[in-house]
């Protein structure tokens, strides 16, 4: 069995970091053969070497049949231990981010703001789990002088595990909402699980950034001697919300009103967090604002898509009761002669699922949005409280309907959990 120290010596001779997927370019990488319920990458180790990997790491002895293939007891634990070992060699700030909603958006905004001063490395895409966090650390470029590590969680203990690998010096919880309540065992479990980041920072004398307008988070701030608060008057960083019509306008302390390309009032707090962190690290505020104002969301996260007559709010990457409520409130607030909502299932809600989907129908009934389409088995529950809505088993069924009955001249919200695949509606909705 090879030790972590030996693996690290080998890793230092891999110019392109670490990989786990033989379908991608592995040239100059250390390949980790990971196992899952439906796959065993040990058998691909030799293939990885042939495709250019410098070394491969396996946890099945029968595949350690090459002088470039090294045996460990557990491939995943070896990957995590190597990442932790590498992280301990860093001498630059590491910011950990978690939360129920807005993690990725906040990460991107903070990256933009800090890039005015630092060479920033941040989690790529959604590599924020027990595999993604180690990969983020091990693939960090040498010229980096600030790292942002996004951490996701589905159950209690996940964030604790990830902080033990990423070892963040600084931390931000964007919010605590009704997400993954099934895995957490309810909303109280979500609070407990997300706050594991705070517990790590307390134990390591780290610095925490806290939204003072969030009742749950501001109450947790009492655990810290000197939390860095934002954005209310009297906080470390002050920022005023002006409006979101449709894009967020805001006014940082002692500056003119700024206009972003971020949709919806709910993104104001993400902008404020980014500016607070930028100020803490002595980034010129005007430069941080310029970076943020030029940032445009992508990857189906609150994207504005212009069609021939329609304007589409494409927010099909994720959904839970908290983010769905925020998106619907934003739809209500935006000016438009005609509005439509295409909403799909919210997953991982456990025993609260039916009730939470019923609430969506109730809200729509009470707020005057009549052109509504539900997609998926769970969201069909909302028909009981919004009987005028159309209901479709799959997104393909809805596409077929809309091709014969197109929506036109409307502001359309498209939102669901990623597995529903509502992004496939883009072509159909843009054509009208």
- Secondary structure of residue 285 in the 3-state scheme: helix
Cβ proximity of 373 and 298 under 8 Å: no
Compute the distance between CA of residue 415 and CA of residue 409 in angstroms, rounded to an integer. Answer: 19
In terms of Cβ atoms closer than 10 Å to its own Cβ (0-12, 13-18, 19+), residue 321 is buried
* DSSP code string of 123-153: --TT--STTHHHHHHHT--TT-SEEEEE---
| Helix%, strand%, coil% for the chain, nearest 5 | 40, 20, 40
Residues marked as binding?
A: 99-105
Rounded to a whole number of angstroms, the CA Rg of the chain reads 23
Residues marked as binding for ATP?
A: 99-105
167 backbone φψ class: left, alpha, beta (φ>0; ψ -120 to 50): left
Nearest to 168 by CA among 132, 206, 220, 210: 206
Residue 61 has a CB neighbour count (10 Å cut-off) of 10
Cβ proximity of 369 and 341 under 8 Å: yes
């Amino acid at each position: 069995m090879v030790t972590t120290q030996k693996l690290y010596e080998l890793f230092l001779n891999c110019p392109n970091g670490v990989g786990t997927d033989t379908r991608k370019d592995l040239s100059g990488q250390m390949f980790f053969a990971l196992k899952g319920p439906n796959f065993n990458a040990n058998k691909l180790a030799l293939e990885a070497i042939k495709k250019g990997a410098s070394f491969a790491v396996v946890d099945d002895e029968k595949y350690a049949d090459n002088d470039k293939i090294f045996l460990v007891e557990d491939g995943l634990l070896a990957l995590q231990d190597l990442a932790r070992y590498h992280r301990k060699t860093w001498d630059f700030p590491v910011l950990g981010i978690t939360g129920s909603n807005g993690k990725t958006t906040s990460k991107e905004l903070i990256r933009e703001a800090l890039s005015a001063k630092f060479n920033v490395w941040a989690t790529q895409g959604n590599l924020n789990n027990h595999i993604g966090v180690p990969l983020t650390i091990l693939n960090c470029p040498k010229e980096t002088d600030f790292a942002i590590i996004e951490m996701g969680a589905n159950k209690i203990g996940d964030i604790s595990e990830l902080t033990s690998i990423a070892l963040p010096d600084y931390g931000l919880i964007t919010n605590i909402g009704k997400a993954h309540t099934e895995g957490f065992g309810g909303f109280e479990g979500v609070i407990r699980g997300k706050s594991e980041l705070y517990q790590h920072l307390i134990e390591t004398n780290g610095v925490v950034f806290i939204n003072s307008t969030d009742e749950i988070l501001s109450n947790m701030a009492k655990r810290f001697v000197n939390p860095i608060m934002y954005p209310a008057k009297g906080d470390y960083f002050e920022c005023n919300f002006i409006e979101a019509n449709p894009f967020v306008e805001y006014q940082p302390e002692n500056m003119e009103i700024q206009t972003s390309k971020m949709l919806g009032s709910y993104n104001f707090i993400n902008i404020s967090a980014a500016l607070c962190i930028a100020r803490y690290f002595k980034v010129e505020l005007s430069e941080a604002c310029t970076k943020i104002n030029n940032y445009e969301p992508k990857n189906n996260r609150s994207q504005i898509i212009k069609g021939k007559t329609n304007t589409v709010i494409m927010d099909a990457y994720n959904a839970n009761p908290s983010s769905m409520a925020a998106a619907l409130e934003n739809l209500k607030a935006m000016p438009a002669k005609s509005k439509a909502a295409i909403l799909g299932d919210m997953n991982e809600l456990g025993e609260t699922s039916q009730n939470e989907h019923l609430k969506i129908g109730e809200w729509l009934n009470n707020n005057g949005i009549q052109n509504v389409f539900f997609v998926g088995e769970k969201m069909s529950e909302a028909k009981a409280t919004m009987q005028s809505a159309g209901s479709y088993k799959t997104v393909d069924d809805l596409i077929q309907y809309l091709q014969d009955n197109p929506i036109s001249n409307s502001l359309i919200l498209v939102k669901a959990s990623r597995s529903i695949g509502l992004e496939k509606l883009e072509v159909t909705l843009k054509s009208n």
